[in-house]
């Protein structure tokens, strides 16, 4: 399937005991359903790198259960290839449409090692593989030439979440990888990142309609509105997921604004 539009990187609602609150997950999915094209649990906005196996499994399975026909793309943020393969196979068994995979967590990794990482993950799966280009968790970035190599040589790559923070790089990827859906991962770059297939960012948990309208009609006025909303909700703070959860709790959508490990 060809992905486009607004895909929401869901926060992970927790109950008072620190486990996934299934009722809150159901309400969250229902609150965004009409304005998004896909659901992306357990990525950075979902504190994916902090979730234990039970939390991760509960979140993914609950989102699949309540997806109502929307594709579910499960985030897999683990430090090494073997762990990523194992978790991705679990995601496949849970019924996801694709997995979203970052690079191994090493600052000194080579671009060839990044390619080999994605090749091993790709060969282990029957579902789609979505690349996640970020540096905050992994400590490294995918260069455009490596991305082009991955996309042309691995048949089940279905998209990339480009979260480098560079609109120039995003445009370069769009130009160099025709046919590959490239999604902007930063709200404040949507106007600059023209030509992308869609958007994946935390604001979509709260204002999915605004995000989708920006994609349909990217104007400076809409960009200014999005920037103001991001400031209002604390989307650009280091612990943005906590701020997003607080806003969702205040709306009565999720039970608590508890974050993983507290």
How many Cβ atoms are within 10 Å of 222's Cβ, its own excluded? 18
Mean pLDDT of 219-238: 98
Scanning the structure block, which residue is given the tokens 């109502």?
68
Q: How far is CA 94 from CA 90, 127, 157, 256, in A?
A: 6, 11, 19, 26
Parse the chain into domains and list their residue ranges. 5-250
Quick check: 225 pLDDT over 90? yes
Burial class (CB in 10 A: 0-12, 13-18, 19+), 178: exposed
CB neighbours of 102 closer than 8 A, spacing ≥ 6? 76, 77, 132, 134, 137, 138
In the sheet that 5-8 helps form, which strands lie side by side, from edge to edge?
A: 38-39, 5-8, 198-199, 182-184, 157-162, 128-133, 98-101, 73-76
**Continuous segment of H or E residues that includes residue 245:** helix 240-250
Tens digits of residue pLDDT in 112-146: 999 999 999 999 999 999 999 999 999 998 888 89
Longest dimension (CA), the chain: 47
Average pLDDT of the segment spanning 64-82: 98
Residue 71: both structure tokens together: 């594709």
What's the pLDDT score for residue 202? 99
The 10s digit of each residue's pLDDT in 154-182 is 999 999 999 999 999 899 889 888 889 99
Please tell me the least confidently modeled range out of 62-66, 144-148, 216-220. 144-148
CA dihedral 200, 185, 202, 261 (to 10 degrees): 110
253 pLDDT above the threshold of 80: yes
Tokens coding 46: 């979902």
Q: Which two tokens stand for residue 167?
A: 């609109």
- Distance, in Å, from the CA atom of 143 to the CA atom of 169, rounded to the nearest integer, reads 9
Instruction: Count, in order, helices (H) and strands (E) of the chain.
Output: 9, 8
pLDDT at 12: 99
Question: What pLDDT sits at residue 193?
Answer: 94
Residue whose pair of structure tokens reads 């990523």 in the numeric block: 84
pLDDT at 1 over 80: no
Token code pair at residue 260: 């993983």
Structural tokens at position 198: 């869609």
Q: What angle do CA 38, 39, 43 make, to 5 degrees?
A: 130
pLDDT given for residue 40 in this prediction: 99
Plot region of 74 (φ>0 → left; ψ -120 to 50 → alpha; else → beta): beta
pLDDT at 179: 86
In this prediction the pTM is 0.97
pLDDT of residue 148: 85
Q: Which helix (H) or strand (E) holds 107?
A: none
What pLDDT does 223 receive? 98
What is the predicted pLDDT for the residue at 46?
98
Tokens representing 55 are 């939390």
**CATH topology for the 5-250 domain:** TIM Barrel (3.20.20)
Rounded to an integer, the average pLDDT of 73-83 is 98
| pLDDT exceeds 80 at position 72 | yes
The percent of residues in the chain predicted with pLDDT above 90, rounded, is 89
pLDDT tens for 23-62 read 999 999 999 999 999 999 999 999 999 999 999 999 999 9
């Amino acid at each position: 399937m060809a992905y486009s539009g607004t895909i929401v990187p869901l926060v992970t609602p927790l109950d008072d005991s620190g486990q996934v609150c299934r009722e809150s997950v159901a309400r969250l999915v229902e609150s965004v359903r009409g304005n998004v094209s896909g659901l992306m649990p357990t990525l950075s906005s979902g504190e994916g790198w902090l979730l234990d196996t039970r939390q991760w499994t509960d979140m993914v399975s609950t989102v699949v259960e309540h997806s109502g026909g929307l594709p579910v793309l499960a985030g897999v943020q683990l430090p090494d290839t073997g762990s990523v393969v194992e978790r991705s196979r679990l995601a496949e068994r849970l019924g996801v449409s694709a997995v979203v995979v970052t690079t191994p967590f090493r600052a000194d990794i080579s671009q060839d090692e990044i390619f080999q990482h994605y090749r091993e993950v790709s060969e282990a799966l029957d579902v789609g593989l979505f690349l996640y280009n970020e540096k905050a968790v992994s400590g490294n970035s995918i260069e455009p030439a490596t991305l082009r190599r991955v996309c042309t040589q691995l048949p089940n790559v279905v998209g990339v979440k480009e979260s480098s923070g560079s609109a120039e790089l995003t445009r370069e990827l769009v130009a160099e990888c025709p046919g590959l859906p490239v999604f902007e991962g930063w709200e404040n770059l949507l106007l600059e990142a023209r030509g992308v297939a869609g958007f994946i960012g935390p604001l979509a948990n709260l204002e999915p309609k605004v995000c989708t309208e920006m994609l349909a009609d990217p104007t400076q006025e809409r960009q200014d509105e999005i920037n103001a909303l991001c400031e209002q909700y604390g989307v650009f703070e280091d612990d943005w997921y906590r701020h997003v959860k607080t806003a969702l709790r205040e709306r009565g959508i999720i039970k608590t604004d508890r974050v993983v490990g507290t």
